[in-house]
Amino acid sequence: MGDDSEWMKLPIDQKCEHKVWKARLSGYEEALKLFQRIEDEKSPEWGKYLGLIKKFVTDSNAVAQLKGLEAALAFVENAHVAGKTTGEVVSGVVTKVFNQPKARAKELGMDICLMYIEIEKAEVVQDELLKGLENKNPKIVVACIETLRKALRWVLQGLARPGDGD
């Protein structure tokens, strides 16, 4: 258990990149709490995570990935710099989340896409979802269609928030 005590001392961003999935899980949990706690959307703290958000959604461990998706959603909801991550994160959602067997993962992936649309990155999201329609995995194609449908419904109905009321 000596390894455990070593990674536990690391800062959040380093835990999120650790080779041990339990360390990453811990990092994502701490990042989620941090993202919910930062009150200033322009805090320099957000910048530390710009290059990591794609890793949150593409984690190879399903348990860690689920927590990473929650943290990524909180990031997109609260950080003014979130728009800079749109293409890479949505691409990761399409390829690594929409093929997951867990419904919660797919739901969070869709919520992340819809949140990017809410922060006015609709064109980038649309492009990535349309690329997903060409995927050979039918699960990914279906999830892309469903996300596009939800986005269109939200836009056409003028819902207060993506995902609500579906």
**Structural domain for 17, as ranges:** 2-157
The number of domains in the chain is 1
95: region left, alpha or beta (phi > 0 left; psi from -120 to 50 alpha): alpha
**Is there a domain that residue 92 lies in?**
yes
**Is there a domain that residue 163 lies in?**
no
**Is there a domain that residue 165 lies in?**
no
pLDDT band at 1 (very low <50, low <70, confident <90, very high): very low
**Is there a domain that residue 166 lies in?**
no
More confident call, 165 vs 79: 79
> Which phi and psi angles does 55 have, rounded to 5°?
-65, -30
Residue 20 burial (C-beta neighbours within 10 Å; 0-12, 13-18, 19+):
middle
More confident call, 160 vs 123: 123
Q: What is the DSSP string of 71-129?
A: HHHHHHHH-TTGGGGHHHHHHHIIIIITT-S-HHHHHHHHHHHHHHHHTT-HHHHHHHH
- Give me the percent of the chain exceeding a pLDDT of 70: 92
CATH of the domain at 85: 1.25.10.10
Instruction: List all residues 6 or more positions away from 45 whose beta carbon is below 8 Å from its beta carbon.
Output: 34, 38
Mean pLDDT, range 138-146, rounded to an integer: 96
**Is there a domain that residue 136 lies in?**
yes
**Is there a domain that residue 164 lies in?**
no
Tell whether the model's pLDDT for residue 160 goes beyond 60. no
Q: Could you tell me the pTM of the whole model?
A: 0.89
User: What pLDDT does residue 19 have?
Assistant: 93
pLDDT band at 74 (very low <50, low <70, confident <90, very high): very high
**Is there a domain that residue 152 lies in?**
yes
pLDDT band at 138 (very low <50, low <70, confident <90, very high): very high
Tell whether the model's pLDDT for residue 87 goes beyond 70. yes
**Is there a domain that residue 162 lies in?**
no
Tell whether the model's pLDDT for residue 163 goes beyond 80. no
